[in-house]
Amino acid sequence: MYKFTTILISLLFVTSCASTSPQLNSGTPVNIYGVSSLSPKNGSWSVITSTGYQLALGTKLNDDSSGIINLSLYQIPEFASGEEFLSHVVKHRANSPDIGRFDLVENSEELVQLNGATCIKHKTISQDNSAKVGGNKTAVMLIEYLGYNCIHPFKKSIGVHTEYSLRHYKGKEYPELAQNAEEFFSDIQFKAF
């Protein structure tokens, strides 16, 4: 009986540990194919998903606020110019389905360079009219997105999407958001693959 109980407790312990998202130390290397960066230097971030093509990190802040960082690859046609790529990204970002839950508050897109890549930098603020919060409750919250859609400089048919987002209550300000996001983006390195 003692042996059975010990095995059962060990299995429960291993199972509970397996489902826990790994916490990252500040400045830990994070990678997908052809792209690397460092985990944020602010807050306590966990790996939500990590494959060769996508990485998602998350952090829980106080009062139901949370942050997500996404880094992913996707197929794109080759573009003759940065302006053509800008037009493509603007069109595809505008095609998001209207499900009635989100209201667009602010959106901007501009053609820029990021660490050797041609990119479209965006800033979007949406109001989530049915954000899930503690238990089965919902609330109205804002989601701020700062990010880039880039043409991978070593493989022009691959797009790189990276986004740093923060969900928070209306009226609660996070002035450090832009600085924290830009610190993460500045660590991005594009590599041949």
Report which of 148, 135, 160, 143 is spatially closest to residue 185, judged by C-alpha positions: 148
Note the CATH number of domain 22-190.
3.40.1000.10
Provide the β-strand partners of residue 169: 141
Domain residue limits, the chain: 22-190
Mean pLDDT in the chain? 87
Q: For residue range 57-69, what is the model confidence (pLDDT) as tens digits?
A: 999 988 889 999 9
Integer Cα distance of 173 and 131 in angstroms: 17
Provide the β-strand partners of residue 37: 30
Integer Cα distance of 170 and 192 in angstroms: 42
Tokens of 166: 């923060």
Alpha helices per DSSP H over the chain? 2-18, 82-94, 177-186
Q: For residue range 3-22, what is the model confidence (pLDDT) as tens digits?
A: 433 333 333 333 333 445 67
Q: For residue range 105-130, what is the model confidence (pLDDT) as tens digits?
A: 999 999 999 999 999 999 999 999 99
Mean pLDDT of 149-175: 95
